[in-house]
Amino acid sequence: MTTKPKSSWRRLLLTLFSAGLLWQSQGVAAAEFNFQEVTVEQLQTAMQADELSAEQVVRHYYGQIAKHNERGADLRAVTQLLPLAEALSVARALDQERAQGKLRGPLHGVPVLLKDNIDTADGLANTAGSLLLADHYPSTDAYIVQRLRDAGAIVIGKANLSEWANFRSTGSSSGWSSYGGQAKNPFDTSRSTCGSSAGSAAAVSGNLIPLAVGTETDGSLVCPAAITGIVTIKPTLGLLSRSGIIPIAHSQDTAGPMARSVSDAVYMLDAMLGEDPRDEASYAVSEGFAQHLRVDGLQGKRIGVMRDLMGYHSGVDAVFEGQLQVLENAGAELVDDLSFVNGRNWGEDEFTVLLHEFKYGLADYFAQHPAAPYQNLAGLLEANNRFADSIMPFFGQELFVMADARTGEQQADYEAALARAKQAAGPDGIDATLAEYDLDLLIAPTTAPAWKIDLINGDNYSGSASSPAAVAGYPHISVPMGFVEHLPVGMSFFAGAGAEGVLIEAAFAYEQLSQARRAPSLMPQHH
């Protein structure tokens, strides 16, 4: 058990030091290539034209991480990196395949970061952000990781997250973990990334990596994406396998792509698809979603404007209001001033479900990892208390205590709560509202602008559009829609189960017209 929070940073610094030395001599072609805001398509074009190699791409991003993860902007977005020599070895093999005419797809030779709650068998720990799991080394890749590797992506490391995916304390600071420290917003490093996919979002937004994987139970993909000015797709429950991912709640958990553009997010989503026999909710689709990247994707769409998911921030509402015209100009028909036809009354039931499923889901995860240092929530609770100085210096573990208090006698109560929550958010919520007004999809502002990081009081969180789709297990896409002062904000697109294609069409068409994404300056700011 490691109790020194600096241990992970020391390992990372050593990797980056060697990367920095090698990065200086990466060759002329890569030095001349403009990586800023580069898309997956642009990387593929350059690599196909022999202007760039996967090896040079990898060196570049190790260099970016060396510049801005603990120095420069000090984003604390990345917690672990594969030794550079190993990443370069993978890159060279993929370069060789390309030279021989074998192309695995859009992610061939593209570096990727994984949220640090996803299993890999490459010697990276899967920590959930906790020092308690600093020595938890899984023996197999998560299913989605294997899919990414098969697609030619180069998994170079792990991204910081809110510890235990923000399910440890009621007073947490999003993006803080005992293993990785406090992740920071690239647009203003005094402000939050939201969470829990904090490092994944900050690394993508800050151009430390082209693509990252995050996970969501409720808001953990869409909130950090909106607050750091990037795109994410939270898919329908089961579209992406959840095996090999440290859980909160199996009835809501899903991984998802985080990228700077809708097309990049779709290419990454497509790479991770596939039915996994180890995940009972997993299902196959006959084809990927890239065909839905249509510039005319808003034409003829009937879109409901969800006013009852607004009103918590006037600046966000004003930006959103200004963007409605963009949708109409693109041929969408807006049905305005809507609220859920049966109200929103799933919150208490959702909380019961998360507490119950966390306790038993964690035990199930550890049962598949007999070598893990802990095997259940009770053991983690006790160890958090034992190492409280390094693991709980700022906030406690109230959610751990509540979840561990759940018992088998409450199984029936849990099942009833689960049925009510699913019914309220899904059939009686999103589905009923779509049907009532004959709509294709619903929109709302994703969440408020980034708040100041506050380790004493925790998050100053005012509201979000995440819960309906999260609780229902339905798809939700967030796309940058503009700025409040210097801080990015996002627009949410969500609909019924399996509606990814419809949402991608609308989100992609909107993005092409709004062009609201812009790169952060990556200088620490204190507004």
Q: Which residues are catalytic?
A: 115, 196, 220
Q: At a CB cut-off of 8 Å and minimum separation 6, what does 223 contact?
A: 174, 194, 195, 446, 447, 464, 466
202, 228 contact by CB (below 8 A): yes
Stretch (H or E) spanning 8:
helix 7-23
Q: Is the peptide bond before 139 cis (omega within 30 degrees of 0)?
A: no
Which backbone phi and psi does 467 adopt, to 5 degrees? -65, -45
**Rounded Cα gap, residues 356 and 98, in angstroms:** 48
Q: At a CB cut-off of 8 Å and minimum separation 6, what does 322 contact?
A: 482
Token pair, residue 311, equals 């009103």
Radius of gyration of the CA atoms of the chain, in A: 21
Handedness of CA 340, 343, 346, 347 (dihedral sign): positive
159, 193 contact by CB (below 8 A): no
Task: Give burial (CB, 10 Å; 0-12/13-18/19+) of 71.
Answer: exposed
Token pair, residue 209, equals 């990596």
